[in-house]
Amino acid sequence: MINSVLVAFSSKYGSTQEVAEAVVTTLREQGLEVDIQPMRQVKSFEGYRSVVMGAPLYMFHLLKGARRFLSKHRKALIERQVAFFALGPTNTGDEKEFQESREQLDKELAAYPWLSPVAVEIFGGVIDPDKIDGLYKLFMRQVPASDLRDWDAIRSWASDLAEKL
């Protein structure tokens, strides 16, 4: 594909992948040629004029795969239009929680000063206590299940984004 858009995601338990898929659907509805790949599988950016990245926040940081992607592909990302979304809030979903996640995201992205996204957004995330494993289980022992993804907001963001890519 020439002049198409790559949506690259990093996701531990799958909720960010589902948001990335919804973004792809909306961008295609807007007439764009779009591919989707997990960040770790992206080998080449040839033919892509824009890259939309999506990753969740974990323990105040972007998921490691996303940080690795940003560092590894600096040159290709500088040469293209980029956008970034992150999943975070899973508790009250109030303005304060979104603001805190947004601050975490801004701080993370500030580590890549060469990156100038045309759009950056935070979406509500998902907690599924049955899926959480390993060390994370210790931190999330008492946390109830939640899904704060607002699909209308996700589609609306992606629709606006289509005009910028």
User: Which positions lie near ligand FMN, rule CB under 6 A?
Assistant: 11-16, 56-60, 87-90, 101, 104, 125-127, 132, 136, 139-140
Q: What is the nearest approach in angstroms of ligand FMN to the Cβ of residue 95?
A: 14
Which residue's CB is nearer to ligand FMN, number 21 or number 35? 21
**Distance between CA 31 and CA 11 in Å, rounded?**
26
Q: Which is nearer to ligand FMN, 56 or 117 (CB)?
A: 56
**Do 55 and 102 touch, CB atoms closer than 8 A?**
no
Residue 107: which of 67, 140, 143 has the closest Cα? Answer: 67
* Closest distance to ligand FMN from the beta carbon of 16 (Å): 3
Strand duo 48-58 + 4-9: pairing: parallel
**What whole-number distance in Å separates Cα of residue 116 and Cα of residue 145?**
35
For ligand FMN, the closer of residues 15 and 50 by Cβ is 15
Facing residues of 38 across strands? Answer: 9
> Minimum distance from CB of 137 to ligand FMN (Å)?
8
In the complex, the smallest distance separating the C-beta of residue 134 from ligand FMN, rounded to whole angstroms, is 9
- Looking at the Cβ atoms of 27 and 57, the one nearer to ligand FMN is 57
d(CA 42, CA 75): 14
